[in-house]
């Protein structure tokens, strides 16, 4: 399968500070790819470069075959973006938000009717089109935000901590939707520091201090560290296989960051 995202020696400097330091990886089409790291690890800067919002200092990256350095405008047309800080307007209704984003993405005519119906069905909001967005429970808002981000059927979807703060049931419903998108070929790149979200990814890239320090499947990451016997403080993991995966994945995360000399504070 063709790679939907390729990143080669991608670097971004701000003055003396190197936010992203020669990062290379590739994401397969239809893959759910997790991007982990503490605050200041360089996740956001990397995503800004991949979404064409920030020019790389050196190195290169392509998204859906388009070079982000030279074709940033074209890149923005084939991607969708959903942030934890919702870009939805709380004082607009569900239907008005969809209409607004359809307008912004140039989804019109019969395609608009199709996509609108699809988004409402996907988010389970068919009988709530006239509700003010601000009044929706968090889980519904997140599904609506996702719907608005994929109105134009983007090839690559960027998610920034999409389900932080919601309960396990709402989270599972959300990720069922994401999996459905992935199954139909949408590539999904998730940036998060929640292990609950990392669980749902096919592969995880761990960043710290601007560098990529690990890249593997969740079970691969857990296995590599468990076999090295370096797991600490994971009392509730035990040897029950996948039980307590949340804790153990977090242990992996914390351990790898510590080995690298800790996170950047500030």
Partner 1 sequence: MTGGSVVVEGLTRRFGALTAVRELTFSVAAGELFGLVGPDGAGKTTTLRMLAGVLRPSAGDALLGGRSVAREPDHVRPQIAYMPQRFGLYEDLTVRENLSFYADLYRVPRAERPARLERLYAFSNLGPFQDRLAGKLSGGMKQKLSLSCALIHRPAILLLDEPTFGVDPISRRDLWLILTEMIAEGVTVILSTAYMDEAERCDRVALLNEGLVLALDTPAALRAGLEGAVVAIRAEDARRARDVLRQLSDIRRASLFGETVHAVVAEWVGADSLRRELSAAGVRVLDARRVEPSLEDVFIQRVAGEEAHA
Per CB under 8 A, 137 contacts partner 1: yes
Q: Are 168 and 136 in contact (CB under 8 A)?
A: no
* Residue carrying structure tokens 């064409």: 52
Dist CA 248 CA 239 (whole Å): 11
Strands of 30-176, DSSP E: 32-36, 58-63, 66-67, 79-83, 156-160
The one segment of 11-19, 59-67, 146-154, 167-175 that binds partner 1 by CB under 8 A:
167-175
Q: Which residues of 170-189 are buried (b: 16+ CB within 10 A; e: fewer)?
A: bbebbbebbeebbeeebbbb
Residues in contact with 108: Cβ distance below 8 Å, sequence separation at least 6, in sequence order:
102
Residues in contact with 263: Cβ distance below 8 Å, sequence separation at least 6, in sequence order:
38, 39, 40, 41, 208, 209, 257
Per CB under 8 A, 42 contacts partner 1: no
CB of 257 to partner 1, least distance (A): 6
Per CB under 8 A, 26 contacts partner 1: no
Residue 44 in tokens: 């956001």
* Residue carrying structure tokens 């510590």: 258
Which of 199, 213, 215, 226 contacts partner 1 by CB under 8 A? 199
Nearer to partner 1, 106 or 165 (CB): 165
Of 174-193, binders to partner 1 (CB under 8 A) are 175-176, 179, 183, 193
* Residue carrying structure tokens 């601000």: 134
Of 67-126, binders to partner 1 (CB under 8 A) are none
What is the β-pairing status of strands 79-83 and 3-14? unpaired
State the number of CA atoms in the 13 A half-sphere of 48 facing the CB. 13
Which of 12, 40, 120, 156 contacts partner 1 by CB under 8 A? 40
Nearer to partner 1, 228 or 265 (CB): 265
Per CB under 8 A, 18 contacts partner 1: no
Which of 167, 185, 223, 259 contacts partner 1 by CB under 8 A? 167
Nearer to partner 1, 8 or 172 (CB): 172
Nearer to partner 1, 106 or 185 (CB): 185
Nearer to partner 1, 66 or 207 (CB): 207
Residues that bind partner 1 (CB under 8 A): 32, 37-40, 137-139, 164-170, 172, 175-176, 179, 183, 193-196, 199-202, 217-219, 236, 240-247, 250, 253-254, 257, 262-263, 265-266
């Amino acid at each position: 399968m063709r790679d939907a995202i390729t990143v080669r020696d991608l670097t971004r400097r701000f003055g003396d500070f190197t936010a992203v330091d020669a990062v290379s990886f590739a994401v397969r089409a239809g893959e759910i790819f997790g991007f982990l790291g503490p605050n200041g690890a360089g996740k956001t800067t990397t995503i800004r470069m991949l979404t064409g919002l920030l020019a790389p200092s050196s190195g290169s990256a392509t998204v859906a075959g388009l070079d982000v350095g030279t074709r940033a405008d074209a890149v923005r047309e084939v991607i969708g973006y959903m942030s934890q800080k919702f870009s939805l307007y709380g004082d607009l209704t569900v239907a008005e938000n969809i209409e607004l984003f359809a307008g912004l993405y140039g989804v019109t005519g019969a395609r608009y009717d199709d996509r609108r119906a699809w988004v409402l069905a996907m988010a389970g909001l068919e009988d709530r089109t006239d509700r003010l967005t601000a009044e929706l429970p968090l889980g519904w808002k997140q599904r609506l935000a996702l719907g608005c981000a994929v109105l134009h059927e983007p090839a690559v979807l960027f998610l920034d901590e999409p389900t932080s703060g919601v309960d396990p049931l709402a989270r599972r419903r959300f990720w069922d939707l994401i999996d459905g998108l992935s199954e139909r070929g949408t590539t999904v790149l998730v940036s998060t520091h929640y292990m609950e979200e990392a669980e749902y990814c096919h592969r995880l890239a761990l960043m710290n201090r601007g560098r990529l320090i690990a890249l593997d499947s969740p079970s691969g990451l857990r296995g590599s560290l468990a076999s090295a016997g370096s797991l600490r403080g994971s009392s509730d993991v035990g040897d029950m296989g996948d039980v307590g995966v949340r804790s153990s994945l977090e242990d992996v995360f914390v351990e790898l960051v510590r080995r690298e000399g800790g996170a950047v504070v500030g």
